C-alpha cells in the first residue's frame, strides 16, 4: 500500500510534537538527565500532549497543504496551533494531575521548540524545491523575461521557480524603487522600454506580461515593445477577470484584442442597481442578441423576481435559455419567442408578466444591409419600438430603457436615422406617461454579432486578406459587459426623458485594430496577411460621433455616464410624421419612407460609396423637427 504525502506529514508532526515536549523538559534541566520523578511525569503526560496538539494541528489546517507550497500563512497557523495547544495541554494536565512534577517553564519552552520543529522542515523543504535546479533542468527550461515587478510578477516568478519548466532570467519594471533589486533571487534588469535590448542580451525565449492592473494604453505600449523584440509573449488576465485573485502561470494566456482596446474596469454602484431591481419583473427585448443576452446575464445575477426574455430568433432564444437555466436553475425565467412588431405578441407578453423594467435591445443594426431595406429598418426599429413603448404605458411599466447607438448622431445611414427617430419617440413620451423613458447611447461593442472583430477573426483564420473600409476610419469600442453594466446603472440614474451617453474613451483606428489582430495571431501584417481597403460602404461614415453640437454634456453621479441636453421636439408633429411613415410602410413605398426619414431627421446625410468627399461629410446640425 502506497504512503500518501499527508500521512508522511502527520507522522512527522507527531514525532515533532513528542520531540518538542521532551526537549522542553531536558532544556529545563540544562539538557542534563532530568530527575526520575520529572522524567516519569513528562513521559506520562506525552499521550495527552500528542492528542491535544495533533487535534489542534488538524483544526488549523496544517495537513491540507503541501510542504512544497508552504507560506507565511502556514507559519502563522503553526504559531497559533502551538500557543493554543500549550494552553490546552496545561489545562488538561492540571485537571489530570494538578501538574505534579511538571516544570512550569516547560509551557514557555515547548511552543518555541514546536514552532521550530514544525516550521523549520517545511521552510527548508520549500527552499530546497524552489532552488533545486540541476544543470540539466536549467539548460532545458524556457527562458522568460517577466514584465512587472508587482504582485503579479512576484507570483509568476514564484510559480516558475517551483515548477522548473521555466527559468526567469530577469524582470523589467518602471518603478524606480525596484531598480537593481531582486525578487526571489531574480534580478530587476531595467525599465519596460528596455525590453528589446534585454531580450537579446539575456537570450530570452518568451516574454510574460505580469501586470494585471495595466490599462489598455499601457498594454498597447508593452505589446509594441514585445513585438519589436521578435519574441512570443503572453499575459495575465486583467485583475477583475482573475477568478482566484492570485497570479499564477496557469492563468497565462495569449494577449487578446480586448486587452488593447478595453479600458479600466467599470465600477458601479451595485447596491443601488440591485435595490432598484430587487423584487421586480424585467423584460429584455432582443434578449438573445449580443447586448440583450449580456443584459439578461447581468439582470438575473442581481436577483430580480423574474426575467422575461423576448426574442425573435428561435436559435438565439434556445442558446440563451440553455445558458441561463443551467447557470441559474432556481430563478424564475421566462423565454418568449416573438417579434416586437407583432402587436398581439407584445400585448400578450406585457399582459401576462406586467414588467416593471423594460430593456429594449431589439433592433436591426447592419448599416449596409438596411441602407437598401428602408422599409424593414423602419418597421422593426421604429414601429417595433413604438409597439413596446405603448405596451409599457398601457401596462404600467415603471421604466423603459432604449438601447441606442452613436450612429444616431448626425446619421449617414437609414439605420442611424431610424435609431435617432426612436430617441425622439422616447423623448416625447415623458410628457404623457408615468413610465420613465431613458435612452442610452454608445458605440461599437467588441465581439458583438456582425461587428468588425469577429469578421477580422474569420478572415485571419482563412488566411486573409483583412478588409478595411478606409485607412482613416475610426470607431468607438467598449466591451459587451461594460456596456450592459452601464445601461443598468443609467436605468437607476434617469428620471425620464433623458439621453445618456456612455464614455467610450478615444476612438480606435480600424487599420490599427486589423494590424494588431494579425500580430496577435502570430503573423505579420502585409507579409503573412494583407490588409485591403474597400472604400466606405453605403451609409458608413469615416468617423462616428456620440453627441450633437447642441447636446451639451453634463455629468451624472457615475463618471462614465453623461447626460446629453438634447433639443426637444414637438409631439404632435412627430405623431403626424409617424402616421405618414406607417402608411408608407403599409404600401411598401420606400421612396416615401426615405423622404419622411429626412424630414424627421434633418441631420440625415447619406454617404454614397466610392466618393472621397462623402467620407468626410458631416451635415451641420439644423436641430430636430
Is the pLDDT at 528 greater than 50, yes or no? Answer: yes
List the end-to-end C-alpha distance of the chain, in Å, as a whole number.
87
Give the pLDDT score at 132. 52
The closest alpha carbon to 441, from 468, 462, 410, 463, belongs to 410
Radius of gyration of the chain from Cα atoms?
34
- What number is the average pLDDT over the span 189-202? 92
- What number is the average pLDDT over the span 590-617? 66
Whether the model pTM is above 0.85: no
The residue written with cell numbers 540544562 in the block is 30
- What number is the average pLDDT over the span 566-586? 86
Give the pLDDT score at 5. 67
Q: How confident is the model at residue 384 (pLDDT cuts 50, 70, 90)?
A: very high
Is the pLDDT at 395 greater than 90, yes or no? Answer: yes
The mean pLDDT value of the chain amounts to 81
Give the pLDDT score at 184. 81
- What number is the average pLDDT over the span 285-291? 92
The residue written with cell numbers 506580461 in the block is 209
How far apart (Å, rounded) are the C-alpha atoms in residues 409 and 411?
Answer: 5
pLDDT, tens only, 76-113: 888 888 899 899 998 998 888 888 888 999 999 999 99
Is the pLDDT at 616 greater than 60, yes or no? Answer: no
Q: How confident is the model at residue 406 (pLDDT cuts 50, 70, 90)?
A: confident
Residues 6+ apart with CB under 8 A from 550: 565, 566, 567, 621, 623
- Of 118-127, 233-242, 455-464, 586-595, least confident by mean pLDDT is 233-242
Please give the C-alpha separations between residue 120 and each of 7, 55, 84, 112, in angstroms, as whole numbers.
19, 20, 19, 12
Give the pLDDT score at 474. 83
- What number is the average pLDDT over the span 247-253? 58
Is the pLDDT at 288 greater than 60, yes or no? Answer: yes
More confident residue, 572 or 380: 380
- Of 2-6, 432-436, 441-445, 571-575, least confident by mean pLDDT is 2-6
pLDDT, tens only, 529-541: 999 998 887 777 7
Give the pLDDT score at 155. 83
Q: Considering only the top CATH level, what class is 135-255?
A: alpha beta
Parts of the chain belonging to CATH 3.40.50.720: 135-255, 270-616
Q: How confident is the model at residue 549 (pLDDT cuts 50, 70, 90)?
A: low
Give the pLDDT score at 267. 62
Q: How confident is the model at residue 194 (pLDDT cuts 50, 70, 90)?
A: very high
Helix (H), strand (E), coil (C) string for 64-80: CCCHHHCCHHHHHHHHH
The closest alpha carbon to 225, from 521, 525, 519, belongs to 519
Give the pLDDT score at 76. 81
How far apart (Å, rounded) are the C-alpha atoms in residues 171 and 194?
Answer: 11
Give the pLDDT score at 345. 96
User: How big is the CA angle at 316 (ends 315 and 319), to the nearest 5 degrees?
Assistant: 90
More confident residue, 591 or 568: 591
37-63 burial: b if 16+ Cβ within 10 Å, else e = ebbebbeebeebbbebbbebbeebebe
Is the pLDDT at 240 greater than 90, yes or no? Answer: no
Give the pLDDT score at 265. 57
pLDDT, tens only, 28-83: 888 888 899 988 888 889 899 989 988 888 887 776 555 544 566 677 888 888 89
**Secondary structure letter of residue 203 according to DSSP:** T
- What number is the average pLDDT over the span 452-459? 84
Name the range with the highest mean pLDDT among 67-76, 428-437, 510-519, 600-609. 510-519
Give the pLDDT score at 550. 59
Alpha helices by DSSP H, listed for 98-194, are 106-131, 135-140, 151-163
Which residues are catalytic, by number?
407
- What number is the average pLDDT over the span 199-223? 85
Name the range with the highest mean pLDDT among 274-283, 317-326, 432-441, 508-517. 317-326
- What number is the average pLDDT over the span 232-239? 72
Is the pLDDT at 139 greater than 80, yes or no? Answer: no
Output the CATH code of domain 270-616.
3.40.50.720
pLDDT, tens only, 320-378: 999 999 988 888 999 999 999 999 999 999 999 999 999 999 999 888 899 989 999 99
Give the pLDDT score at 569. 74
Give the pLDDT score at 268. 63
- What number is the average pLDDT over the span 378-392? 95
Amino acid at each position: 500500500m502506497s504512503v500518501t504525502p499527508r500521512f508522511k506529514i502527520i507522522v512527522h508532526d507527531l514525532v515533532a510534537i513528542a520531540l518538542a515536549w521532551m526537549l522542553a523538559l531536558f532544556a529545563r534541566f540544562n539538557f542534563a538527565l532530568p530527575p526520575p520523578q520529572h522524567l516519569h511525569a513528562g513521559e506520562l503526560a506525552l499521550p495527552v500532549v500528542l492528542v491535544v496538539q495533533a487535534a489542534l494541528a488538524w483544526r488549523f489546517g496544517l495537513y491540507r497543504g503541501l510542504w512544497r507550497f508552504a507560506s507565511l500563512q502556514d507559519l502563522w497557523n503553526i504559531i497559533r496551533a502551538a500557543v493554543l495547544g500549550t494552553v490546552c495541554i496545561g489545562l488538561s494536565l492540571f485537571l489530570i494531575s494538578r501538574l505534579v512534577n511538571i516544570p512550569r517553564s516547560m509551557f514557555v519552552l515547548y511552543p518555541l521548540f514546536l514552532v521550530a520543529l514544525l516550521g523549520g522542515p517545511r521552510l527548508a523543504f520549500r527552499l530546497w524545491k524552489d532552488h533545486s535546479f540541476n544543470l540539466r533542468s536549467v539548460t532545458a527550461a524556457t527562458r522568460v523575461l517577466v514584465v512587472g515587478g508587482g504582485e503579479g510578477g512576484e507570483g509568476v516568478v514564484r510559480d516558475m521557480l517551483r515548477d522548473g519548466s521555466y527559468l526567469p532570467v530577469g524582470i523589467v519594471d518602471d518603478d524606480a524603487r525596484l531598480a537593481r533589486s531582486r525578487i526571489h533571487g531574480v534580478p530587476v534588469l531595467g525599465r519596460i522600454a528596455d525590453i528589446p535590448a534585454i531580450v537579446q542580451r539575456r537570450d530570452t525565449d518568451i516574454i510574460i506580461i505580469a501586470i494585471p492592473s495595466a490599462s489598455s494604453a499601457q498594454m498597447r505600449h508593452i505589446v509594441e515593445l514585445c513585438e519589436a523584440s521578435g519574441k512570443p509573449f503572453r499575459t495575465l488576465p486583467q485583475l477583475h477577470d482573475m477568478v482566484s485573485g492570485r497570479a499564477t502561470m496557469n492563468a497565462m494566456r495569449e494577449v487578446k484584442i480586448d486587452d488593447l482596446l478595453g479600458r479600466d474596469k467599470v465600477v458601479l454602484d451595485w447596491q443601488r442597481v440591485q435595490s432598484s431591481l430587487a423584487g421586480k419583473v424585467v423584460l429584455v427585448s432582443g434578449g438573445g442578441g449580443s447586448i440583450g443576452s449580456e443584459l439578461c446575464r447581468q439582470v438575473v445575477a442581481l436577483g430580480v423576481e423574474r426575467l422575461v426574455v423576448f426574442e425573435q430568433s428561435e436559435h438565439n432564444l434556445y442558446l440563451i435559455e440553455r445558458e441561463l437555466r443551467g447557470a441559474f436553475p432556481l430563478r424564475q425565467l421566462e423565454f418568449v419567442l416573438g417579434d416586437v412588431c407583432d402587436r398581439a405578441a407584445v400585448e400578450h407578453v406585457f399582459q401576462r408578466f406586467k414588467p416593471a423594467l423594460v430593456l429594449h435591445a431589439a433592433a436591426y443594426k447592419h448599416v449596409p444591409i438596411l441602407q437598401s431595406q428602408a422599409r424593414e429598418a423602419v418597421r422593426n426599429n421604429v414601429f417595433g419600438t413604438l409597439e413596446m413603448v405603448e405596451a409599457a404605458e398601457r401596462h404600467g411599466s415603471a421604466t423603459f430603457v432604449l438601447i441606442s447607438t452613436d450612429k444616431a448622431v448626425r446619421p449617414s445611414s437609414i439605420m442611424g436615422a431610424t435609431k435617432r427617430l426612436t430617441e425622439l419617440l422616447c423623448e416625447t413620451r415623458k410628457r404623457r406617461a408615468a413610465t420613465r423613458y431613458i435612452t442610452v447611447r454608445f458605440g461599437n461593442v467588441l465581439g458583438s454579432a456582425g461587428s468588425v472583430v469577429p469578421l477580422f477573426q474569420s478572415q485571419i483564420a482563412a488566411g486573409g486578406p483583412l478588409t478595411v473600409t478606409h485607412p482613416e476610419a475610426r470607431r468607438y469600442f467598449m466591451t459587451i459587459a461594460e456596456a450592459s453594466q452601464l445601461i443598468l446603472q443609467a436605468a437607476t440614474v434617469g428620471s425620464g426623458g433623458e439621453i445618456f451617453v456612455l464614455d467610450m474613451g478615444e476612438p480606435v483606428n480600424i487599420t490599427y485594430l486589423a494590424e494588431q489582430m494579425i500580430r496577435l495571431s502570430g503573423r505579420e501584417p502585409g507579409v503573412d496577411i494583407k490588409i485591403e481597403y474597400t472604400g466606405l460602404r453605403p451609409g458608413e461614415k469615416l468617423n462616428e460621433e456620440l453627441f450633437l453640437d447642441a447636446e451639451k454634456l453634463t455629468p451624472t453621479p457615475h463618471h462614465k455616464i453623461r447626460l446629453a441636453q438634447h433639443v426637444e421636439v414637438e409631439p404632435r408633429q412627430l405623431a403626424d410624421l409617424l402616421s405618414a411613415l406607417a402608411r408608407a410602410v403599409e404600401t411598401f413605398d420606400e421612396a416615401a419612407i426615405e423622404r419622411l426619414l429626412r424630414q424627421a431627421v434633418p441631420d440625415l446625410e447619406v454617404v454614397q460609396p466610392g466618393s472621397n468627399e462623402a467620407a468626410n461629410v458631416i451635415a451641420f446640425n439644423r436641430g430636430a423637427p
